[in-house]
Structure 1
Amino acid sequence: MKTFKLTFFLAITTLYATAQNWKSDPEHSRLGFRVEHMQISEVNGIFKDFEIDVKTAKPDFSDAVIELRAETGSIDTEIEARDKHLKDKDFFDVENYPTIQFKSKSISRIDENKYSVTGMLTMHNVTKQVTVEMVHNGTITNSVTKKRTAGFQVTGMISRSDFEIGSKFPAKLVGDKVFIIVDAELQLQ
């Protein structure tokens, strides 16, 4: 039993000692969404102020622990009146719920560079488990910054009703399903 405990302790210690920290490069990353409007068109938008932190010990990111934080007040659909409405109590209520947070719980490989990531998403003071797909586009040494840089795209679908956002607006007016797309460049810290 002592040998098992020592082996387990050494494995955990080695993992934390070799884990690398990566952060999103805000100039080359985007957190976007798309939602149906009146069943005939779509509205696209972004959150301008967000940050992604990743810890991993493996170069293929197969053991990554991912955290994302976005400021709800940074929502931008390129229409000022709509953005103001999305920030008020009808939707995000940014005064009372200023952030969106995601923290991964597990990651599993789908194929060579594609993963399924499951984690806890918190919006509007509601936390739900969600699963998204992550594609690792590669890792290089950035020729400008000289930093190790990894590229990712994350896609998924959530239901706004699960998070009590826009509850008084039926899906025929504003779609319930919201498509999420994150394009991110992460830099090794």
Structure 2
Amino acid sequence: MKTLIQSIRLTLVLTALLCIIYPVFISFASKLSKGKGGGETISVNGKVVGYAAIGQKFDQPKYFWSRPSAVGYNAAGSAGSNKGPSNPDYLKEVSNRIDTLLKYNPGIKRSDIPADLVTASGSGLDPDISPDAARVQVKRVAAIRKLDEQKVAALVKSHTEEPMFGPAKVNVLKLNVALDELR
């Protein structure tokens, strides 16, 4: 009986702590973040065009392309493809992505293509690409928009984030919004 009472007390204490106190604390702490707990939104002319932390599909040649998504960029269905690197369907999909990149970026070689431009992330919603993935696309974007290549390369460099931990990254939505503002 003593053990049962201790178990009930522990359950009540942990329920209060983990189901009430902790969520309330996190909710208040989130209000101090950039997006006030709703996520950082990116706006153009007062209209929200997306969230900084959720990948979006960019496949027009005049834009920097996003990392592929196994879920069609649907945040409600965040997931990877669960296809292994030896799966024939997966290999065909990656090969098709490589062919598309080579078609729209004729100046690059197959070996120059970074993996993050042809493989989906584990969540399927990665908003970032590597700086190499952005640099590979500079020539195409500059040519289509009739912009100086150095100016577009400088834009990529200015949008490259160097986190304290982990690799450098470029947020595709932020980069494309800045690209549209370039003159």
Q: How would you bin the TM-score normalised by the shorter chain? A: under 0.3
Q: What is the TM-score when the length of structure 2 is the normalising length?
A: 0.25
Structure with the higher strand share, 1 or 2: 1
Rg comparison, structure with higher value: 2
Structure with the higher helix share, 1 or 2: 2
